[in-house]
Homo-oligomer: A and B are copies of this chain.
Amino acid sequence: MSDTSLARRHRVVVIGSGFGGLFATKALKRTDVDVTLIDRTTHHLFQPLLYQVATGILSEGEIAPATRLVLEDQQNASVLIGGVEKIDVADRTVTSTHRGRTTVTEYDSLVVSAGARQSYFGNDHFAEHAPGMKTIDDALELRGRILGAFESAEVSTDPAERARLLTFVVVGAGPTGVEMAGEIAQLAHRTLAGAYRTIDPRDARIILLDAAPTVLPPFDDKLRRAAADTLEDLGVEIQLGAMVTDVDDDGLTVRDQDGAERRIEAACKIWSAGVAASPLGRQLAEQTGAGTDRAGRVLVEPDLTLPGHSNVFVVGDMMNRDGLPGVAQVAIQGGRYAAQLIAAEVRAHRKGRDKPERAPFRYTDKGSMAMISRFHAVAKVGRLQLTGLLAWLLWLLIHLVYIVGFKSRLATAMSWTWSFLGSSRGHLAVTEQQVVARTAINRLDAWEDSRAAPEAATASAR
């Protein structure tokens, strides 16, 4: 932390407080640099557990520690809250805004880890009817919709309407979709089983849809079959080779592999079918001539940098290098790798040496896992394939270790464990802000339609 060697310390800007950005920042703790971590939100988000917030197992606070508190003891790091609007790789500046105030931050090295958002493959109007699961607000919105469907069914007297209200469709059978479908099934068939008087929540249909011919594509056949069997035991209907062609308030239209279209009436739809990289990816690509893939991810050099800009790293879900998957480990390892290169070059510069040679980024696959239900998971660790209770215990252990890793917060870990192991759901409280926002926005749309004067500003309030 001393300022002996240089007049000005090397400035690192990190965009994004997700896995990539946070681990890049933490890895620079002992390096003589100033790190500024910029994010739109005030928290790090443990995204793989968002589905547990949506289904009432955890509270949003348990998976979203305040970034400032996580980095409190790292004196060379500061946190800037703001949405990044512009990166200028020629000027070496990042422009962000927070509540109308614009801040321009200069950098010597930049680590961009702005992640991905839900993608509807060009059908953005699906979003209103089938929210994705990328933010805390998404998860609370889904929690309100799932429980709201049961409440509306309880007071409905029309059998068709009641069936529609009790049909839940999860689009996308990757890990998030599988975990979400499993949890809704457990919520309906176990937690809420005796809670209603005119409906039986066990009548709820939970449908897991995917255009692909299999669940959990990243896993091998044995684990896929185990996952599908567990889901079916829970009462989840799995419909594969089924492509969603339309989504509206009352349900969705699906085209099966034989080309025939059919309709599923369902009040509550959840989208976990695809992601698109942060638009900052295209901004960087345009400035540097880097390519992007169909999901908008930047095709980076072997050292995760942009062509001709060896001081700009792109890591995590918004980069594409050899088709690595958009999982936490890729982001964490990418963030740490970028930090190590920056640290090595800062050290070399201070000692008056040449920049060291950069070894290309190599991803170490530590395995992958998905929790299907209480006491059931599937896990792949190297050549080892685990299912059932053993996989579930491994899942629990790894998540516990991760959570304790944040400032050794044993109290949080205990609280999380209790919430998670408790058989009833402690976090079913429904906020109403969604309703207020939706009411206001609907009225706003009506006003604007009635004036027939479309304005560019409409989109900004959504």
Q: Which residues of A approach B to under 8 Å, CB–CB?
A: 41-43, 56, 59-62, 64-66, 68-69, 72-73, 78-82, 98-99, 101, 103, 135-137, 140-141, 147-148, 151-152, 154-156, 191-192, 194-198, 407, 409, 411-412, 414-415, 418-419, 421-434, 436-437, 439-441, 443-444, 447-448, 457, 460-462
In the bound complex, residues from chain B placing their C-beta under 8 Å from that of A64 are 429
Instruction: Kindly report which residue of chain B lies nearest to residue A68, judged by CB atoms.
Output: B195
Give the oligomeric copy count: 2
Quote the shortest CB–CB distance from A138 to chain B (angstroms). Answer: 10
Given contacts A69-B195, A197-B78, A422-B411, A433 and B137 within 8 Å (CB-CB): yes
Q: Complex: how many Å from CA A75 to CA B128? A: 38
Contact: B426 with A412, CB < 8 Å?
yes
A429-B43, A440-B461 known; A415-B418 Cβ under 8 A? yes
**Which of B73, B137, B419 is within 8 Å of A431, CB to CB?**
B137
Tell whether A461 pairs with B433 under 8 Å between CB atoms, given A61-B427, A196-B68, A411-B426.
no
The 30 sampled A-B contact pairs (Cβ below 8 Å) are A41-B432, A42-B147, A43-B428, A43-B429, A43-B430, A56-B61, A59-B60, A59-B62, A59-B427, A60-B431, A61-B427, A66-B147, A66-B425, A69-B428, A73-B194, A79-B197, A141-B433, A411-B424, A412-B418, A412-B419, A412-B426, A415-B426, A433-B433, A436-B437, A436-B441, A436-B461, A437-B440, A439-B460, A440-B441, A440-B461
Q: Do A431 and B433 contact each other (CB < 8 Å), given the known contacts A42-B151, A148-B99, A447-B447? A: yes
* B437 and A41 form a contact (CB under 8 A): no
CA distance A154 to B38 in the complex (A): 13
Which residue on chain B has the smallest CB distance to residue A152?
B99
CA separation between A421 and B412, bound complex, in Å? 10
A424 contact set on B, CB distance < 8 A: 69, 407, 409, 411-412
Q: Contact partner of A418 among B418, B422, B437, CB < 8 A?
A: B418
Residues of B within 8 A of A444 (CB): 440, 443-444, 447
In the complex the two chains form, what is the Cα distance from A81 to B144 in whole Å?
A: 13
By the criterion CB–CB under 8 Å, are B426 and A61 in contact?
Answer: yes
> Is there contact, CB below 8 Å, between A461 and B434?
no
Q: Which 6 A-B pairs have the closest CB atoms?
A: A411-B422, A61-B427, A59-B59, A433-B433, A440-B440, A64-B429
A411 pairs with B407, CB closer than 8 A: no
**Chain B residues near A414 (CB, 8 Å)?**
414-415, 418
